[in-house]
Amino acid sequence: MSAGEATTNSSRDLSDAKQRVLDVAERLFMQRGYAAITLRDIADALNMRQASLYYHFPEGKEQLFVAVATLVFERHQAGMQRAIDTAEADLASRMHALAGWFASQPPLNLLGMTHADFPALSESNAHTLAQIGYRALFTPLRNLFLAAQDRGEIRTIHPDLLAGCFLALIDSASVIRQQPTVPPRHSMVDEMILVLLEGLYPRPAPVACAQSPMQPQRAPDVVSP
């Protein structure tokens, strides 16, 4: 083996080891939150010494969390854009495609991240992640709703408000579905999208036709001469 091959293999091993740390840390952070997880928890889950984590993330837990959150946001941005691009052009189809993407991923718990995790970080890191999160999650949705407004599919509403409503519905579905009385997740998400598109007001009953196509037509009256 040449020196170059040895260096390449060493770099690959290092990259694989770092990716394992990121994968395990993501699972723990997303399940329990930043404050509830320690580096010892992550090291124990990886069956390694806690000091070894500092080799990959010398600044400690906060640096690791920032790296994890950044990767999560970037993965969602790519997946959301792919869902939008491959769906039919109408808004409802693209919203259902986006819901399918989120259903294929572990729960994001965006509310917990923004209200519990980010405030526990340094101001600089919290600001950086907020910007990355907005660009990754809100921008694809913002563009989606703006395009629908331009096509006349929906009335003009601030696109950030619509994006936030959609993300809140998706985020809440992962919590609601844990209750035994709720319908299957796909049915629940379909209903949520319908509510977002059509509102909560009752829909008017269909207008009855003068004559059903299934009814035999009445023969015309015959006038005797």
Assign 3-class secondary structure to 82-149: HHHHHCCCCHHHHHHHHHHHHHCCCCCCHHHHHHHHHHHCCHHHHHHHHHHHHHHHHHHHHHHHHHHH
pLDDT-derived band at 191, boundaries 50, 70, 90: confident
Give dist(CA 65, CA 125) in Å, integer: 10
Q: What is the mean pLDDT of residues 70-74?
A: 96
Domain ranges of the chain: 61-198
Enter the pTM of the model. Answer: 0.79
User: What angle do helix axes 139-150 and 159-176 make, rounded to 10 degrees?
Assistant: 120
In the predicted structure, residue 7 carries a pLDDT above the cut 50:
no
Q: Averaging pLDDT over each range in 128-142, 186-200, 202-216, which range is the top one?
A: 128-142
pLDDT-derived band at 60, boundaries 50, 70, 90: very high
Q: Averaging pLDDT over each range in 55-59, 101-105, 194-198, which range is the top one?
A: 55-59
User: What angle do helix axes 159-176 and 185-198 make, rounded to 10 degrees?
Assistant: 150
pLDDT in tens, 151-167: 999 999 999 999 999 99
CB 55 within 8 A of CB 64: no
pLDDT in tens, 112-135: 899 999 999 999 999 999 999 999
Give dist(CA 201, CA 184) in Å, integer: 23
Residue 5: predicted pLDDT: 43
Q: What percent of the chain has pLDDT over 90?
A: 62
The two three-digit tokens of residue 116, written as one number:
């519990």
Residue 77: predicted pLDDT: 97
Q: In this structure, which topology does domain 61-198 adopt according to CATH? A: Tetracycline Repressor; domain 2 (1.10.357)
In the predicted structure, residue 71 carries a pLDDT above the cut 70:
yes
